[in-house]
Structure formats: structure tokens, C-alpha cells
Amino acid sequence: MSLRICCIDDNPLCIYGLKHALSAAGHEMIGSLDRYEQLDAFLEESPCDVLISELRVGDFDLLERCHELMGKYTNSKWIVYSYDENPTHVARASTLDAWDYVPKRFSVQRLIQTCESVRTGHRLPDSLVCVAKTFLTCHHKPTESMEVPLTKREYQILVHLSLGLSNRYISKSLNISLETVKEHVKNVLHKLESKDRTAAAIWSLRNGVPTLSFDYPS
């Protein structure tokens, strides 16, 4: 079954290469946009199965913008395809329920496989979004040397803080209210004697709090 795919990226060489690779795999690139402002009108006129986007296009953070649009075009799945491999951005994409996050240094076949996983409704087993979701929602155990008495939930919040995630992202990740997140963050900062979130992230790095990492597929 052929997929209808739209791509938003301001790199014309990337667009050109993707168009040919997708066509060779039996799929159709129905649109290639280089500005975010064009996207809503395009999707209104030309529904697609998959939206492939860079992390940023021009001055726009597409993690935020595409998430908003995907709530409107629910039949389209969204894949971030970027040179940026920052774990914080992968974590953000996972909390916003992007279908996947594929680094551009991966083979283009990996991207095609990711697109085709949309048809089955199951992400690839080593999907970076799946890895990030699992990491963020599991209950990490504090190291034995950690002397600060955090609850399980507070430690989970600290793991999110160590990645630089905002309260809104933490709320989405853990499926808890924003007010509850704020209260947990306040308690964590107090117990760590940290003046702000940045200080808490530095404390995490120095005290062995686990951070998101990937065993990249070949």
C-alpha cells in the first residue's frame, strides 16, 4: 500500500533525495514545503498519511508547531527527521507523541521503514521515541550513594529535569496535572537545595542520575 507523504524542510537537497527514495519504495511525496506557514493550508487541501519534518525550519520550532497541527490532522503521523540528535529533543518529541525521531545520519532506508511502520500501527522495536518513552516513564532507582530522600515520583521528576524538560512536557510525559508537576518540582528543588532547575540538572549529572542515551540502529 502506497503512503502519501508530505515533507517540510528548508534543505532542497534533502527534499530531492527523499522524493526519489520514497518513490523507489513505492510511496508518493505529495508535498515538499520549505516554510511552516504553508503547512496548515497544504494539509487542509491534501491530506497525507505521514508528515516528515526537520526540527527547525526558519525561525520555527517544529516540535511545537507540528504538534499543534497534528491535533487537527489526526489521520497523519508525524516523524521528525533531523541532523539534531540531542536527547532532550528526542524526549520532547516523545512527550508530544511524534511517531518517531530519525537522525539524518541514519540510512534513508531506516526512514522508509519508519514510514511503513505507520501502516501497521506499531513503531519499530528500536524506535527512538519508544526508547525515550520507556526511559521517562519507568521508575529509576536512586544510587546507593544518593543521600537526598526523594520519593519515587520525585526521582522520576528529577530525571525529567536533568533533560531540561519544562513542566508542560513533564505533565504530558507522566500524564499528571501541571499543578501536580509544579508541586513535585518545588519539593525536588527544596530537597536538593537547588536554586533553580539548571542547578538541579547539574546536581543530577554529578550524582549519577540516569540520562537518556541510545543504542543506535545500524
Tell whether 51 and 85 lie within a shared domain.
Answer: yes
Q: Which three cell numbers stand for residue 12?
A: 532542497
Q: What is the pLDDT of residues 151-172, one digit of tens each?
A: 999 999 999 999 999 999 999 9
* 64, 21 contact by CB (below 8 A): no
Are 181 and 154 contacting, i.e. CB atoms less than 8 angstroms apart? Answer: no
User: pTM of the full predicted structure?
Assistant: 0.91
- Looking at residue 146, its pLDDT comes to 75
Mean pLDDT of 13-32: 94
Judge whether 215 lies within some domain. no
Cα(88)–Cα(19) distance, integer angstroms: 29
Counting Cβ atoms within 10 Å, is residue 97 exposed (0-12), middle (13-18) or buried (19+)? middle
Q: What is the mean pLDDT of residues 15-27?
A: 94
192 occurs within a structural domain: yes
Write down the mean pLDDT value for the chain: 92
Q: Residue 129: inside a domain, yes or no? A: no
CATH number at residue 62: 3.40.50.2300
Domain span at residue 193?
138-206
- Rounded Cα gap, residues 153 and 155, in angstroms: 5
For the chain, what is the domain count? 2
Question: In this model, does residue 217 exceed pLDDT 70?
Answer: no
Give per-residue pLDDT as tens, 64-118: 888 888 888 989 999 999 999 999 999 999 999 899 999 999 999 999 999 999 9
Whether residue 107 is found in the same domain as residue 189: no
Q: How far apart are CA 67 and CA 79, in angstroms?
A: 11
Helix (H), strand (E), coil (C) string for 38-55: HHHHHHHHCCCCEEEECC
For the cut 80, the answer to whether the pLDDT of residue 215 exceeds it is no
Q: Which of 124, 149, 171 is the last residue of a domain?
A: 124
Domain termination residue (choose one: 96, 124, 152): 124
Do 173 and 200 lie in one domain? The reply is yes
